[in-house]
């Protein structure tokens, strides 16, 4: 790409954001928005590639810096007082589904990419606007697989999520386990005399025992690994002792203790069978190096913290430094009348562009850690 790419003025950026919000893209229904954005980017001189319902577009030469955010939203809840797809602007606030999470980041990253693509850079800047982040993350996985097939492993990646433009330098992983306790079905009136084993009692004992399970040292940014029962099921009728009882365990992991060791410790403590339902979302932490330096240069004085919530950072190939950074606030995500400030969107675009330029300068200077 060259100077034929046309950057966005601030008013055009805010208009882009409103158009994104006004185009429904609940998870599984991102196709129309992906098509609209592909046409939008092409009209500005870019050449986006369609990967399912995700888009990938790149500019420049050299090590690859990836800007990644998601097109999909959760469904609107019942408590909205505004049209979730109207992109209503009130006193500088844009209300609408996904306005904050994460269409503010999508708009800001798109504006930053177009600005960066308009002039040669000593790095390749790639923009990934992906599907399914709110569900299974296959959109970013598709992008990483496509890049791997071309031998283009990212040198670093920035994931656009609402962080208040603070730097999420670490992110907890997610391990989903299931306890399965097995007992003996019997009439409740005769269970004690018959010696029937109540699976609900076994499961309850395990849940209590796991309450004080040691899960390794605390991580400096993420704190402790946590384990919480979330979905508990037992029984088929009021008067029947359950033969099986199950509990889903939501385990938020840190780099301080490997997932395999977490599983081993749970199995040591529990009598129930322990099944692994998902171990795909590994914890992440940003090592010292050019990406973190560039982020600090773009946002001097920003808070650095560890994030307990997931993002597509969990999909990033091992060994590639990443960071979570974007306009808006996480607390507004998935809430009725979700909103973001127009000023936050503009600041986000400036931040992403400044970060990329600082990273490119480090690459041009031969900084260690940029492959």
Q: Alpha helix (H) ranges present in the chain?
A: 10-22, 31-43, 103-117, 138-149, 191-194, 199-210, 259-269, 290-298, 342-364
Cβ(289)–Cβ(321) below 8 Å: yes
| Alpha carbon of residue 142 to chain centroid | 15
Cα–Cα distance measured from residue 60 to residue 50, given in angstroms and rounded to the nearest whole number:
19
DSSP conformation letters of 58-106: EEESSSEEEEEEE--BPPP-TT-SS-TTS-EEETTEEESTTTTTTHHHH
- Mark whether 133 is an active-site residue: yes
List the one residue out of 332, 278, 281, 333 whose CA is nearest residue 70: 333
For the chain, how many residues are written?
371
Q: Which residues of 109-119 are buried (b: 16+ CB within 10 A; e: fewer)?
A: bbbbbbbbbbe
Cβ-Cβ contacts under 8 Å for 344 (sequence gap 6 or more): 104, 165, 327, 328
Residue labelled with tokens 């844009």: 94
Choose the catalytic residue: 29, 30, 49, 133.
133
Name the pairing type of β-strands 167-171 and 93-95: unpaired
Cα–Cα distance measured from residue 243 to residue 136, given in angstroms and rounded to the nearest whole number:
32
Cα–Cα distance measured from residue 81 to residue 336, given in angstroms and rounded to the nearest whole number:
7
Residues annotated as part of the active site: 133
């Amino acid at each position: 790409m060259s100077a034929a790419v046309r950057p966005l003025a601030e008013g055009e950026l805010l208009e882009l954001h409103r158009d994104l919000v006004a185009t429904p893209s609940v998870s599984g229904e991102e196709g129309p928005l992906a098509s609209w954005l592909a046409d939008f980017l092409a009209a500005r001189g870019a050449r986006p590639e369609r990967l399912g319902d995700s888009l990938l577009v790149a500019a420049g030469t050299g090590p690859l810096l990836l800007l990644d955010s998601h097109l999909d939203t959760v469904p609107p809840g019942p408590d909205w007082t505004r049209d979730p797809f109207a992109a209503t602007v009130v006193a500088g606030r844009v209300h609408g589904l996904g306005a904050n999470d994460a269409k503010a980041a999508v708009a800001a990253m798109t504006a930053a990419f177009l600005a960066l693509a308009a002039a040669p850079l000593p790095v390749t800047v790639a923009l990934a606007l992906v599907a399914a982040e709110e569900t299974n993350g296959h959109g970013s996985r598709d992008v990483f697989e496509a890049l791997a097939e071309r031998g283009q492993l990212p040198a670093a990646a920035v994931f656009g999520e609402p962080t208040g433009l603070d730097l999420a330098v670490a992110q907890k992983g997610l391990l989903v386990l299931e306890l399965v306790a097995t007992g003996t079905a019997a009439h409740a009136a005769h269970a004690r005399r018959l010696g029937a084993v109540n699976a609900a009692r076994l499961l309850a004992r395990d849940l209590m025992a796991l309450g004080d399970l040691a899960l390794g040292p605390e991580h400096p940014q993420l704190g402790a690994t946590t384990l919480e029962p979330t979905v508990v099921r037992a029984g088929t009728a009021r008067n029947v002792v359950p033969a099986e009882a199950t509990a889903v365990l939501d385990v938020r992991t840190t780099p301080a203790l490997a997932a395999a060791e977490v599983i081993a410790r749970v199995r040591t403590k529990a009598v129930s069978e322990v099944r692994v339902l998902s171990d795909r979302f590994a914890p992440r932490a940003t090592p010292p190096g050019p990406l973190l330096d560039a982020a600090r240069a773009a946002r001097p004085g920003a808070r650095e913290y560890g994030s307990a919530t997931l993002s597509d950072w969990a999909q990033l190939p091992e060994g590639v430094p990443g960071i979570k950074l974007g306009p808006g606030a996480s607390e507004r995500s998935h809430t009725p009348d979700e909103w973001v400030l127009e000023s936050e969107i503009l600041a986000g675009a400036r931040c992403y562009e400044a970060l990329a330029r600082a990273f490119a300068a480090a690459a041009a200077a031969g900084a260690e850690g940029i492959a």
